Amino acid sequence: MPLPQKDMKRLLAWSTITQLAYIFLALSLAVLGSKEAFDGGIAYIFNHAFAKSLFFLVAGAFSYSCGTRLLPKLRGVMGKSPLLGIGFCVAALAIAGVPPFNGFFSKFPIFAAGFSLSTHDWALIPVMVLVLIESVASFGWLIYWFGRVVPGEPSPEVAQMSPLPLAMRVVLVVLVVMSLCSSVIAALWLN
């Protein structure tokens, strides 16, 4: 369902359902005896909160400053508002689980636990392969929209965007930093 979405908030809402599935997968693997999966699931809750909050704030900032959150109309944002471009990039990479962003430090333990448990329970192999395919597809889809939104010549909506208020810029910076810092916290906690 997230694939055909062009409205950024709808895309993020459907993406949240997918991300919640990772948390339930981690808790399910924990029931099978994996402390690593449990720790990864708990870290995922916090890391996802920072990254998805950042993504929703970026969507709100687009709506506020450009008058739209339709992704095809948001092109060339990096040239006009580097903070929004960086926020979009960090949020996309964190949600996709790319290191050194926080999503990696919560996805990796879940994958490691799942594939480790699959050596004892073969029924987990198709589940983990399906989750791995979803993770790669999610990464590809987010990178696709990043390439369509962030670089390039500004679209008419982006070219006429109004400046972001100070409070919104401060929160964007805090969430970008937390999407990186919470990865360090998660790595230390998970060892």
Cα–Cα distance measured from residue 9 to residue 160, given in angstroms and rounded to the nearest whole number = 21
Per-domain residue ranges for the chain? 8-190
Position 187 confidence tier, pLDDT thresholds 50, 70, 90: low
| Residue 25 in this model has a pLDDT that exceeds 80 | yes
Return the bridge partners of 7, or none. 70
Cα–Cα distance measured from residue 49 to residue 102, given in angstroms and rounded to the nearest whole number = 10
Q: Letter for the amino acid at 13?
A: A
| Residue 3 in this model has a pLDDT that exceeds 70 | no
| Residue 181 in this model has a pLDDT that exceeds 90 | no
Among 124, 130, 122, residue whose Cα is nearest residue 31: 124
Q: What is the 3-state secondary structure (H, E, C) of the chain?
A: CCCCCCEHHHHHHHHHHHHHHHHHHHHHHHHCCCHHHHHHHHHHHHHHHHHHHHHHHHHHHHHHHHCCCEHHHCCCHHHHCHHHHHHHHHHHHHHHCCCCCHHHHHHHHHHHHHHHHCCCCCCHHHHHHHHHHHHHHHHHHHHHHHHHHCCCCCCHHHHCCCCCCHHHHHHHHHHHHHHHHHHHHHHHHHC
Q: End-to-end alpha-carbon separation of the chain, Å? A: 35
As given in the structure block, the two tokens for residue 119 are: 């050596």
Return the bridge partners of 70, or none. 7
Please answer whether residues 106 and 38 qualify as being in contact, where contact means their C-beta atoms are separated by less than 8 angstroms. no
pTM (2 d.p.): 0.85
| Residue 176 in this model has a pLDDT that exceeds 80 | yes
- In the prediction, which pLDDT does 50 show? 87
Tell me the range of 95-109, 119-133, 145-159 where mean pLDDT is highest: 119-133
| Residue 158 in this model has a pLDDT that exceeds 80 | yes
Cα–Cα distance measured from residue 154 to residue 73, given in angstroms and rounded to the nearest whole number = 9
Of residues 70 and 117, more confidence is placed in 117
Range in 9-18, 30-39, 79-88, 99-108 with the lowest mean pLDDT: 9-18
State the CB neighbour count (10 A cutoff) for residue 47: 28
Average pLDDT over residues 82-109: 87
How does the average pLDDT of the chain come out, rounded?
86
Which burial class, exposed, middle or buried, applies to 77 when counting CB atoms under 10 A from its CB (0-12, 13-18, 19+)?
Answer: buried
Position 98 confidence tier, pLDDT thresholds 50, 70, 90: confident
| Residue 168 in this model has a pLDDT that exceeds 90 | yes
- In the prediction, which pLDDT does 70 show? 83
